[in-house]
Structures are given as structure tokens and as C-alpha cells.
């Protein structure tokens, strides 16, 4: 009997230790994926950057167009006033955005540009240059926990959608008649699509989604495999619970695919057919699921483009399609 009691105690202690170790492993995994400062300490940022670069399409054409976009962006920044603006998130984090505004903003349309996972607002300035040239005022936020914006965890588009609603409200406070376009890349594109499941103000005329993923759970599971080379072992479900408790959002709810099923917002979905990060099939899934009318949704598959490279594969075709779509819906 005494031996049995001892074995029971040992088993209980072993289970407690195992749970502590497992919980610590989940914490590390979540932080390594969703906390940029922690990622830097683990050198995960470098690993993510290297992996992303290795999965890009590398052709002379794309390389030359990237360099041309950099020069164009440099000139744009030299000639255009950049202001930093600040607001509070719904859960009291400081959020920072860049603002490029024409001197005569009355009647001009606005675009809100949304960057990707582990990114920052500066990565979207090459889009800003094109929109500014077309007469748009531009707001480019750092999404929570990235760039200059505060936050405990990257929001995977789900927390961010409420933050972007606050930015939209800030625009409408000063310009209540403003027409607004949402243009996102990767996670920012998923965020824009998630927004369409909310009751958006009529001022939001359309969305341009460039290489959006369908849902955050799938992306989190993929990154677990790619970065840690581990089977799931319940880590994703545990990470989901951790984020519900600590991060304030549910990975399972963070689904652009589910949200576009509620959407009436005109939407252009763009995807490179050589995307090795977000499968090209995701674009068709999102397009088919989107409940905007057939006249209000479009799909553009760019041959030879990798992840977030559609605008570099053929800039003229890309921006012609984007502005043709956007201006059609601004004119309604």
C-alpha cells in the first residue's frame, strides 16, 4: 500500500512537471511566432526573413522592378510630407500610422494600406507612392505589436481588424464624406477581408486583397511545421487557448474565409501563381466564398509571381487592374 501511494505521488509530480514543461513550450512557441521582440532574441526574425526570401521567385524582371519601385518610393518620400499620427486601440495600446495627405483633401478618396506578418508600415510605401499619384490621401498603420505600434501579440489580422476600424473612424471624424479603400498585403490582406465581415460604414467602397491567407489556424500550423519541424502534438490547440487567455483573441475565429461569407463589400483578390507561402488555391477559395455580388468581386492570378510579388511581376498590369477596380467603385 505504501509503495502504491509513493508511485501515485511520483506519477502526480511527474504529470505536474510535464504540464509545466508543456506550458512553457507553448509559451515559447507562441512568443516565437507572435512577439517580434522575443523573435529577435531567438534570431527567429532572421530565420523568417531568410525563409521568406528563399521562397520568392527570383528573375531579372522581378529584381529590376523591385529596384525601380525602391527608386520611385525614395523620390515619393523626398517630395511628400510624411506625418506620424497616433490613436488608442480598443484595448488601450498605442497605435502609430504614417499619413500622406494632399493640401486640398476635400473630396479626395482615402486608402488605408495594411502590411503583412512581422512587417511594418514602411513596407507599404511603394503602394502609397502609386495611390498618392492618383490623388489619394493615404493612411499606413503599423499593425499592433509591429513597427512602432504597441501590443502583446501580433493580431494575425483578427485583433487588427478592430484597430483598423478605429483608424477608419478617425478619418471619418475629420472627413465624414470620405470614400475609403482598404488595400492589404498578406496578413494585412486577410485583415482587410476579415473587416468585410463587420458592419462597415458605407464610406468603405472596396477592398484590394493581395495574397491573403484563408485562416490563421492553418497559417499557425504551417509555421509550426516550417519553423520548428515539429508535429502538432496539440500545440496549435494549446496556443489557441493561450491566445484566448493572454492575447484576447481566438485563432479559430480569425478566418478571412468565414468573414467573406458575410461580405457585401466589393473585393479584388490578387494572388501570384508561384506563391509558396500562401497556396494559390486560397485566392479561389476566398473568391468563391465571398458573398459580394458577381459584379463586385474580381480575381486576378498573376503568372510567375511569388508571395507579395504580383506588383513587381508586371507593375503596369497590376496597377491598371487595381485602379480600374477601385475607381469603378469610387464612382458609384
Domain residues of the chain, as ranges? 1-34+216-253, 57-215+254-330
At 55-74, the pLDDT tens digits run: 788 899 999 999 999 999 99
Q: What is the dihedral of CA 138, 322, 142, 177, to 10 degrees?
A: 40
Q: What order of strands is seen across the sheet that includes strand 180-185? A: 83-88, 94-100, 137-141, 110-114, 180-185, 204-210, 267-272, 297-302
Q: What is the mean pLDDT of residues 71-82?
A: 97
Q: Is 215 helix (H, G, I), strand (E, B) or coil?
A: strand
* Backbone CA torsion sign across 153, 157, 158, 161: positive
What pLDDT score was predicted for residue 310? Answer: 97
Helix 216-228 crosses helix 44-54 at what angle (to 10 degrees)? 100
Assess whether pLDDT exceeds 80 at residue 5: no
Joined grid coordinates for residue 168: 477608419
- Which pLDDT band holds residue 13 (cuts at 50, 70, 90)? low
- Which pLDDT band holds residue 3 (cuts at 50, 70, 90)? low
What pLDDT score was predicted for residue 2? Answer: 56
Phi, psi for 151 (deg, rounded to 5): 150, 155
What pLDDT score was predicted for residue 282? Answer: 96
Gyration radius of the chain over CA positions: 21
Pick from 195-209, 241-255, 314-328: least confident:
241-255
Its CATH class, for the domain covering 57-215+254-330, is alpha beta
Please classify residue 25 by burial: count the beta carbons closer than 10 Å to its beta carbon, then call 0-12 exposed, 13-18 middle and 19+ buried. Answer: middle
Q: Is 208 in contact with 326 (CB distance < 8 Å)?
A: yes
pTM of the model: 0.90
Amino acid at each position: 500500500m505504501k509503495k502504491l501511494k509513493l508511485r501515485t505521488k511520483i506519477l502526480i509530480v511527474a504529470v505536474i512537471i510535464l504540464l509545466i514543461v508543456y506550458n512553457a513550450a507553448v509559451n515559447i512557441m507562441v512568443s516565437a511566432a507572435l512577439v517580434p521582440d522575443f523573435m529577435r532574441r531567438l534570431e527567429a526574425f532572421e530565420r523568417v526573413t531568410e525563409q521568406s526570401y528563399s521562397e520568392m521567385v527570383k528573375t531579372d524582371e522581378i529584381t529590376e522592378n523591385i529596384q525601380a519601385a525602391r527608386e520611385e518610393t525614395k523620390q515619393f518620400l523626398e517630395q511628400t510630407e510624411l506625418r506620424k499620427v497616433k490613436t488608442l486601440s480598443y484595448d488601450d495600446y498605442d497605435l502609430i500610422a504614417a499619413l500622406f495627405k494632399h493640401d486640398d483633401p476635400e473630396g479626395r478618396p482615402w486608402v488605408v494600406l495594411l502590411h503583412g506578418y512581422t512587417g511594418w508600415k514602411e513596407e507599404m510605401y511603394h503602394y502609397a507612392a502609386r495611390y498618392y499619384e492618383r490623388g489619394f490621401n493615404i493612411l499606413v498603420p503599423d499593425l499592433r505589436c509591429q513597427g512602432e505600434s504597441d501590443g502583446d501579440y501580433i493580431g494575425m489580422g483578427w485583433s487588427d481588424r478592430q484597430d483598423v476600424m478605429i483608424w477608419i473612424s478617425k478619418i471619418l471624424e475629420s472627413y465624414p464624406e470620405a470614400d475609403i479603400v482598404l488595400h492589404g498585403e498578406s496578413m494585412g490582406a486577410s485583415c482587410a477581408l476579415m473587416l468585410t465581415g463587420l458592419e462597415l460604414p458605407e464610406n468603405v467602397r472596396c477592398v484590394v486583397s493581395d495574397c491573403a491567407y484563408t485562416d490563421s489556424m492553418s497559417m499557425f500550423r504551417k509555421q509550426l511545421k516550417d519553423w520548428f519541424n515539429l508535429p502538432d502534438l496539440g500545440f496549435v490547440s494549446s496556443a489557441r487557448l493561450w491566445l484566448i487567455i493572454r492575447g484576447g483573441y481566438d485563432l479559430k475565429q480569425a478566418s478571412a474565409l468565414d468573414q467573406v461569407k458575410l461580405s457585401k463589400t466589393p473585393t479584388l483578390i490578387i494572388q501570384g501563381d508561384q506563391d509558396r507561402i500562401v497556396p494559390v488555391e486560397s485566392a479561389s477559395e476566398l473568391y468563391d466564398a465571398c458573398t459580394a455580388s458577381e459584379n463586385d468581386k474580381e480575381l486576378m492570378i498573376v503568372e510567375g509571381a511569388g508571395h507579395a510579388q504580383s506588383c513587381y511581376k508586371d507593375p503596369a498590369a497590376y496597377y491598371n487592374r487595381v485602379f480600374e477596380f477601385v475607381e469603378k467603385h469610387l464612382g458609384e
